[in-house]
Amino acid sequence: MVTPNIIDSDPKTESLRIISVNETPSLTSSYGKVAAGVIRRKRPMAVSLPGTCWETTDVISRQLVDDYNTLLSASGDVGHNSAPSLTAHITAFGLSTAMMAERGFPLPLLGMVHLQHKVWHMSDIPIDQPLRIATWAQNLAPHHAGTTVEIWVQIFDPTTDKLLWQSMALYLSQSVKLPGAEQPPRPAREPFRPPAMTAQWHLPKDIGRRYAAVSGDRNPIHLSNITAKALGMPSAIAHGMYAAGRMLAGRETPAPYTWAIEFASPMRLPTKVAVNYRHANDRQLITGWNARKEKLNFAAEIRLH
Amino acid sequence: MTSTSNAASAGGSLRPAVVLGGNRIPFARAHGAYAGASNQDMLTSTLEGLIARFGLQGEQLGEVVAGAVMKHSADFNLTRESVLGTSLAAHTPAHDVQTACATGIETVGGIANKIRLGQIDSGIGGGVDTISDAPLAFNNEARELFMQLNRARTTQDKIKVAMKLRPKHFAPLAPQAGEVRTGLSMGEHQALTTHDWGVTRHEQDEIAMNSHKNMAAAYEEGFFNDLMTPFRGLDRDNNMRPGSDLESLGKLRIAFGKQLGEEATMTAGNSTPMTDGAAAALLSSEDWAQKNNLPILAEFVDFEVAAVDFVNGQDGLLMAPTYAIPRILDRHGLGLEDIDFFEIHEAFAGTVAATMKALADEDYNKNVLGRDKALGQIDPTKLNIKGSSLAAGHPFAATGPRIVASLSKMLHEKGPGSLGLISVCAAGGQGAVALLRGR
């Protein structure tokens, strides 16, 4: 049985300086800004977190929910009159990315590896209603392959200040080492033994472009082999969050529930992902792997509360 | 017309629903003999053959229920349109049913239930399917654009939308072969179940061989003479290979479960091919049969449906009948040893073998089905003795009525009180089983 190994962390918002943003910045402009920075060789100045919390007011639009459901409906519709968990992530992602694209951010945005993602979907989220979105970075930590950072997002009902949804994304930068910090050794991991296949996802070569069209996340590594190779990837890879959406499709119950996914290796497009779903007591475990190479792609879980 | 005074639906008691006979057209491998035939062509011909056999021209029946799994959206009233094309009275109502491969059991069962309740006195349950004339649809993006085009008011708006059309929008969307929620085809799902139950290649090839041999023998003895009407140059199922033997079946390459490597066992020989065809069965009350001077073959006693959780990997996709069979037998205080004929639809030989193994398995009965002990062994000499889908083919919705008609005749020949059990697995992790008693 493969279980996701998610870090145990709590949101820490004390003493963060609030930066209010009028409008969620577009992802394309953030990537462009970073790309320009790379060309001009602007290196991040410090290896400490900026201590800011970015805030904005935005809506999860009906259009986004429809587009998202259309993309994933072939694998099981969500079917509730509230926002699917991933549309909250998509809506907030622009703000998080803009924060990470800032010059003062200690880890370079491009080349950042998404290691894991955890979501607490506490309440149903209304569609087309204003939401207060906050994002910040915490816990810069040494990793055997570089440095990790947690990017947190919280989404509130602006009238009641009730926390509806929060997420923690763990990213790895392989190009930065924390000065003075000791690199932990690579943890021993049991060799992957593929479980029985219960499903198979056929990911076509354009799935990166299709998810990009819905999410706005046009990170070049997902769009085509040429753009991916330009960034040092062997070929285009699927968005990790597409895999998350796929495993949630048809399984999102009314809130509350939590889910988490740990990414083990990229899904190179096009590909067939062998998938195992199983119930284990209070949770559903989902494992995705490459059957030919017997290589784990991701391990995930959904917990209903 | 319905006798209203004592109908169960009006407070009276239930009465038996009986099978008087059936009719089908020979089944044809897809894209072959019936390539030019539509569902309506095939269903109408099948109904007309049944009407001719039982002298029902101009009769008003209680209802005709049929369905197709692969159906054009324009065929929303497929059965009613087919009835209007037959010589039945135009006052005969009809409706469509669609529940994957269990459609045909559901149509016959629905007719039987209405007869038992006294709502109708006679009816036909049928099914039809075509792969050769399967509906193709515009893909989602194209459909959205055409809808926008339809909503556009001004010429300028129309041009704006039309400019978005690209060649890719004209690539049609074919009906999916795979399960929506798992992305695995039915064959791939069965390959997993076959493997789980340790069903060998030899066991499957033997089931396939017996299906062809049994059906060929049934043709030779004239068993199908009063169950079939020739259609488009065919007078028997063109998938049947009477000379099938273990040697030739053993040479076929693996078709499903290739990821299992050496342990893969499923081939085109022990899997049912895509087929076109139609079948129907005539049912009535005992009174109606008597009044019309028609002999009764069997009683349609009961039917039961079940579903499994294949999405979460808890069950095999096609294992729902293993839940339904014990339930229907328990309800009637019967055991497997009481059954004279088992008709287990051969979607794949592996389905038949896995179903039999599961019913005989102590662990599965206790832990999955929640029973005290194993239901028991099915005697293979009572299984599909006139052949089944591996030989005949399987035009999805037509398989139920095909089996109901054949089994009723077998039970009638066996004698009054003989019992037959039908098991049909279906896409979506569903299944339907039925119990018939000979008259």
pLDDT digits (tens, 9 = 90+) for A239-264: 999 999 999 988 888 889 999 999 99
Is residue B136 pLDDT above 90, yes or no? no
Burial zone of A89 (CB within 10 Å; 0-12 exposed, 13-18 middle, 19+ buried): buried
Across residues B201-210, what is the average pLDDT?
98
In-domain check, residue A9: no
Q: Is B101 a catalytic residue?
A: yes
* pTM: predicted TM-score of the whole model, two decimal places: 0.89
Query: Cα B72 to chain center, whole Å?
Result: 19
Q: Which domain holds residue A100?
A: 17-177+192-304
- B312 and B361 assigned to the same domain: yes
Higher pLDDT, B275 or B138: B275
- What's residue A128's pLDDT? 94
Instruction: Kindly determine whether residue B313 and residue A198, on different chains, have CB atoms separated by under 8 Å.
Output: yes
Q: Among A196, A201, A275, select the one facing B192 at the smallest CB separation.
A: A196
Which pLDDT tens digit goes with each residue over B280-298?
999 999 999 999 999 999 9
pLDDT over 90 for what percent of chain B? Answer: 86
Q: Where is B51: in which H helix or E strand?
A: helix B39-54
Cβ atoms of B209 and B250 within 8 Å: the answer is no
Q: Are residues B166 and B313 in the same domain?
A: no
In the numeric block, which tokens belong to residue A173? Answer: 């930068």
- Nearest Cα neighbor of A157 from A115, A198, A124 is A124
Residues of B with CB under 8 A from a CB of A: 140, 180-184, 188, 192, 196, 259, 310-314
Q: Is residue A3 part of a domain?
A: no
Average pLDDT over residues B112-116: 98
Q: Is residue A273 part of a domain?
A: yes
Residue A196 and residue B181: Cβ atoms within 8 Å? Answer: no
Q: Please tell me which residue in B91, B101, B202, B345 is annotated as part of the active site.
A: B101
Q: Does A279 touch chain B (CB under 8 A)?
A: yes
Are B190 and B339 in the same domain?
A: yes
In a domain, A143, yes or no: yes
| H or E segment to which residue B186 belongs | helix B186-196
Which residue is it, tokens 């991933």? Answer: A86
Report whether pLDDT(B43) > 90: yes
The verdict on a CB contact (< 8 Å) between B180 and A199 is no
**Among partner residues B183, B196, B311, which is closest to A200 by beta-carbon distance?**
B183
Supply the pLDDT for residue A43: 56
Number of domains composing chain B: 2
Same domain, B213 and B362: yes
pLDDT at B424 over 80: yes
Alpha carbon distance B30, B396 (integer Å)? 12
Strands ordered across the beta sheet of A146-157: A17-20, A52-58, A131-143, A146-157, A162-173, A113-121, A257-263, A295-304, A283-290, A271-280, A199-203
Residues of A in contact with B182 (CB under 8 A): 198-200, 275
In chain B, % of residues over pLDDT 70: 98
Q: Within a domain: residue B383?
A: yes
| Mean of per-residue pLDDT scores for chain A | 90
Q: For B344-381, how does the pLDDT look when each residue is reduced to its tens digit (9 = 90+)?
A: 999 999 999 999 999 999 999 999 999 999 999 999 99
Which of A70, A197, A253 is best to mutate for the B interface (most B CBs within 10 A)? A197
Q: How far apart are CA B42 and CA B47, in angstroms?
A: 9
Question: Using 50, 70 and 90 to split pLDDT, how confident is the model at B111?
Answer: very high
CB-nearest to A284 from B183, B192, B312 is: B312
- Closest Cα to residue B325, out of B347, B354, B299? B354
Could you tell me if B416 and B436 are in contact, meaning their C-beta atoms sit under 8 angstroms apart? Answer: no
| b (16+ CB within 10 A) / e for B179-204 | bbbbbbbbbbbbbbbbbebebebebb
> Given B189, B195, B394, B412, which residue is catalytic?
B394
Answer yes or no: are the C-beta atoms of A118 and A144 closer than 8 Å.
no
The yes-or-no answer on residue B31 being catalytic is no
B143: its two tokens: 């459909």
Q: Is B394 a catalytic residue?
A: yes
- Residue B364 maps to which CATH number? 3.40.47.10
Confidence check: pLDDT of B146 > 60: yes
B116-133 pLDDT, tens digit per residue, is 999 999 999 999 999 988
pLDDT tens track for B195-205: 999 999 999 99
Does B195 map to a domain? yes
* B144 and B217 housed in the same domain: no
A261 touches chain B (CB under 8 A): no
Q: Would you say residue A182 lies in a domain?
A: no
User: From start to end of B135-258, where are the E strands?
Assistant: 254-256
Q: What is the mean pLDDT of chain B?
A: 95
Position A80 in a domain:
yes
Task: Determine, yes or no, domain membership for A11.
Answer: no
Which residues, in sequence order, are CB contacts of A83 under 8 Å at separation 6+? Answer: A60, A65, A124, A125, A126, A127
Residues B161, B204 within the same domain: no
Model confidence pLDDT, tens digit, residues A134-169? 999 999 999 999 999 999 999 999 999 999 999 999
CB atoms within 10 A of CB B397: 34
Angle (CA) A202-A208-A212 rounded to 5° is: 135
What residues of A are in contact with residue B196 (Cβ under 8 Å)?
196
Does residue B412 register a pLDDT over 80?
A: yes
Three-state SS string over B1-33 comes to CCCCCCCHHHCCCCCCEEEEEEEECCCEECCCC
Q: Which pair of tokens denotes residue A93?
A: 């992602």
Question: Token pair 């003895």 is at which residue?
Answer: B221
Of the partner residues A202, A250, A274, the one whose CB lies closest to the CB of residue B181: A250
List the domain range (segments joined by +) for residue B159. 140-170
Number of domains in chain A: 1
Find the range with the poorest average confidence among A61-75, B66-80, B353-367.
Answer: A61-75
Q: pLDDT at position B172, please? A: 76
DSSP state of A268: B
Record: contact B314-A279, CB cut-off 8 A = yes
CATH number of the domain that residue A129 is part of? 3.10.129.10
Residue A75 Cα, gap to closest chain B Cα (Å): 5
Residue B433: inside a domain, yes or no?
Answer: yes
Q: What is the ipTM of this complex?
A: 0.79
A6 found inside a domain: no
pLDDT band at A74 (very low <50, low <70, confident <90, very high): low
Cα of A286 to nearest chain B Cα, Å: 9
Q: Is residue B100 part of a domain?
A: no
Helices of type H across chain A? 27-39, 62-72, 85-101, 207-215, 225-230, 240-248
- In whole angstroms, give the CA distance from residue A259 to residue A164: 15
Does some domain include residue B337? yes
